[in-house]
Amino acid sequence: MRYLLLTLLLLSPLTAQGLPFRQAHERLAFANHLFCSADYLRAAEEYAALPAQDSTLFFRSLCLLHLDNIDSALIVVRQLQNNLFKAEFYRNMARLSFNSAHPEKMHSLLNTNAPESLHHEFIPLNCVYKFMQHGYAEKNNENNTGPVLFHEFMKSQTKAMERARYSPMLAAGLSAVLPGLGKIYTRSYEEGAFGFILTGLFTYLTIENFKHHHTARGWITGVSATLFYGGTIYGSYKQAIITTAKEEDAVKQQTLQFLQDNDYFLQPQMVKPPCE
């Protein structure tokens, strides 16, 4: 008897795990817990097992968005009856679009499927998306209808993006005229000074060696001077590309942060997450 009781005690947790939820509200509470814990895959499964109500369909669609399962999320959202939930879904889709693994697809589907009543809210997002793709904010009447704060910020970001671009050919040309000058142009001051000093030093040694008829040493230092000279030209060309990429990325990250700090210039969330 003692062994039988012990066996039942050991098996009871396993048996309890396999039992279904007795009531829908228990499953809903568990699904909400998973959603708030960012366990979106399991949360989506739990919401799918609940009766099809707007609230459960809405949070299930958000889970699918977070999982980058965009097509399935759109299928679920089409079942929504309440336009408030639909609008909230597309606003959340807009918020997630820049961090998505498929931003182009999500952005395209957002503009294609979102209700026309929301299109004016997405003007700043469309402007930023084009800025992230092309590096400038388009100057047209549509973008000017956005918030003044956003419009002024995007003008400053466009100028910052222009300042972030360095011409590889100009950098190489400057270093061809004066070794290391192209590096200084790309703000690599130490490397520029290093290239100038070494090229100048080996050039000086080459002249002195040939002047004093040290031919072998002259050729060695001459080849070294030539290599350093060519290296500063090529290095300046590459550095312009690298510096441009880094500074452009910094401007884009600053733009995204500004967008996030202002909640993407969208209306405040009307449907609060279940964890609030």
**Looking at residues 158-185, what average pLDDT do you find?**
94
Place of tokens 């396999």: 18
The model's pLDDT over 83-108, given as tens digits with 9 standing for 90+, comes to: 999 999 999 999 898 888 888 888 88
pLDDT-derived band of residue 6, with 50, 70 and 90 as boundaries? very low
* pLDDT tens digits, 103-159: 888 888 988 899 988 888 888 888 888 888 887 766 544 445 567 788 889 889 989
> pTM score, two decimals?
0.74
pLDDT of 8: 46
In b/e form, how buried is each residue of 4-13, taking b as 16+ CB within 10 angstroms?
Answer: eeeeeeeeee
Of 138 and 254, more confident: 254
Which are the contacts of 107, defined by CB distance < 8 A and separation ≥ 6? 97, 129
Which amino acid makes up residue 103?
A: P
Contact 185, 166 (CB under 8 A): yes
Q: What is the C-alpha separation between 268 and 200, in angstroms, rounded?
A: 63
Residue 30: pLDDT band with limits 50, 70, 90: very high
Closest CA to 67 of 31, 42, 95, 104: 42
Rounded to whole angstroms, how far apart are CA atoms 276 and 264?
Answer: 20
pLDDT band at 16 (very low <50, low <70, confident <90, very high): very low
- Both tokens of 31, joined, read 């699904």
